Amino acid sequence: MRPGDTVAVVSPSGPPNAVLLRRGIQRLESLGLKVIAGEHVLDRQGLDYLAGDDAARAADLQAAWCDPAVSGVFCSRGGYGAARLLDLLDWDLMREAGPKVLLGSSDITALHNAFAIELGVATLHGPMAACDVIAGDENGPEPRTWESLRAALFGTPGTPGTVAGDRVLAPGRAEGVVRGGNLSLIASMCGTRWQPSFDGAIAFLEDVGEEPYRIDRMLTQLLQVGVFDGVRGIALGSWVKCGDPYPVLEDRLKPLGVPIVAGLPVGHGSPQHSVWFNVLGGIDTESCSLTGAMRNEEQAR
């Protein structure tokens, strides 16, 4: 992206806090972006955990993606609800619109995965407009989060972006397409037409508020249905309010026999670094890091 580009902020999942959304939009504008908001971005009707009804949220997302004046579609927050939109989107029409930036995380994992399968585009896993690390502090966004997002959006094409973790669960090096996101969402998509696959990929996983036994259950499900078949390496992000997840992560994932880095500041919590999905990347346990394209010109085909 470049300063002067137009981005649309939409709410495909839960309803954002209006004050935080306004502040987040102002901060995106400080990057030189022109920001427009979806018609239903602040809707609260029907089920109170959704930002409006499914049809309205899907319409905002599709209209933004198909608008030739829009270079990026930024999600306002996560929560729940993005998966409910997948059957309502006109994928053929969205495919005709060509690639642009989709930014979000957490529940937006449903869109990251579906966009990779349906549209073949790179998407950006990162902080959202109305989230705490961008808009929660009146004095400014969390600095490391903000710099990582700025670099991912505007960095020099071809320059690698590296995120360092703090522990190694299995040694080695690996390269592959970076895929994944929130573990709960990945598991929830099993058995659907958008079932994930980590074949030939670096699998990235993170979660929030899940007890270790529930992490075990979800990983076991993914292993049993073959989602990890052909995986080349695993990068583990944040596990906020998950107790000590590392014994079960090591127990379930180490037998795959691939390199595993952990403790990457990606996902929930603070800071939240930005990582491109559906691009070529690599992990190196010697430096305990995940490296990927700084921008989506290095999208995997």
Q: Which residues are catalytic?
A: 106, 206, 268
DSSP string, 102-160: EEE-GGGHHHHHHHHHHT---EEE---TTSIIIII-TT-S-HHHHHHHHHHHHSPTT-E
- Cα(190)–Cα(217) distance, rounded to whole angstroms? 13
Nearest to 115 by CA among 128, 131, 97: 97
Rounded to 5 degrees, what angle do the CA atoms 261, 208, 145 make? 70
**Cβ count within 10 A of residue 180:** 27
Q: List all residues 6 or more positions away from 47 whose beta carbon is below 8 Å from its beta carbon.
A: none
> From residue 142, how far is each of 2, 22, 132, 177 by CA, in Å?
22, 17, 9, 28
- Please name every residue paired with 168 in a beta bridge, in sequence order, or none if there are none: 261
